Structure 1
Amino acid sequence: MSIREFAAHLGISERMVSKWEAGSESIVPRPVNQSALDTSLAASGPEVQERFARKLDLTPSGFSPPQRTVVHPGTENGGPDAVLAGDETQIRHPIDGKLMTLADAGVFFAGEQNEPVYLAGFYIDVYPTTNTDYGRYVAATDAEPPEHWIDGRPPANQLDHPVVFVAWHDANAYSQWAGKALPTAHGWEKAARGTRGDIYPWGDQRTPAKCNCRES
């Protein structure tokens, strides 16, 4: 990687990477940056890890790279059910059948002040929960259907529309039924903004074509 690419990969400034290179062994990264470095190494292939060990003159018996630990769906932010993800960046959830993607462990910029925050890896749904998805939950649990459904069924022409007229408690109950958990504020922000602190998922520019609202 170039310095620019590596800095973006870690979620830090290019100046910081140059400072590390200049300082060499005298540099002690901040804990949040060290976690990002450890995560990057753990996610690298065996050839990169071997080169790392050789560069630092580490013997095979003394080198144990950090594990790439991510959270199993439904156990966001760690816990006893955390599992190793390997290369499974996308999975099909076994209960509700929805496609989920991995938000890798590492640092991202949070809030208006772009404060560096480290998050463990977690999976998040790729697509919103549709009326069809929610209908399976209603049928399985006898939960109260949304108010605009007719006879407990969604309108036939809206089966693939995101479910609406559900409160937070309804969404949380669906998540528990599916063996998942609603994203935390930080998890949601990282999934939306990425690791570089973009204002929008696609970057920092306001793009009318990507505005999904009545006015557009």
Structure 2
Amino acid sequence: MILFRFFALIFLFFAFHANARVLRVVTDDNYPPYLFLDQGGKPQGYEADLWKLWEKKTGIRVELAATDWASAQKAVLDGRADVIDMIFKTPRRELHYDFSPPYAKLRISIYADSSLAGIQNAATLRGFVVGVEKGDACEEKLQDLGVHDLRLFQGYADMIKAAESNEIRIFCMDEFPAAYYLYRFRKQKQFVRAFNFYQGEFRRAVRKGDRATLEEV
């Protein structure tokens, strides 16, 4: 009887600690409809719903934090988060992260003031200041194509505000948030898609070498 109670306590101990485990997930806070913050500062959108389902299925509690994109990436590299979601795979990022297979395809475009003519490919961007979200894969892509006069912004909303005040006239942005923010700021007629730049793929990623966590998610 005593032996039975002993093993029962051991089982309860491990069951408790398994359920007490927390997976720290970080992502971008301004990518509607995939993820955005509500008025109370809580993550909402497709990704928030998906992580709730994952939590329910696995029994592992998910701590989902949404912040500016550059800080999100730094959190994983510094060990303050286990997983980063909604990240594109790039050659530079492969040096620091291990990636999941892709789960969504996204179109990234160059947007320009409608009064500008002749903006049709990366070569035609040279000589212009191009707005880019800090930490965005677009920054790496533009630099690889010889476009180096970039102005970095903390988030997409800040970039649209800068365009609104004529601080920049060209910017790189993913299609979904571009549609949202241009409409929100009533600038969809002033700033139009100049050309489709490339196609990205959403993945989940972990700090390089953390294969156990990657296989789990």
Q: TM-score, normalised by structure 1?
A: 0.24
TM-score, normalising length: structure 2: 0.24
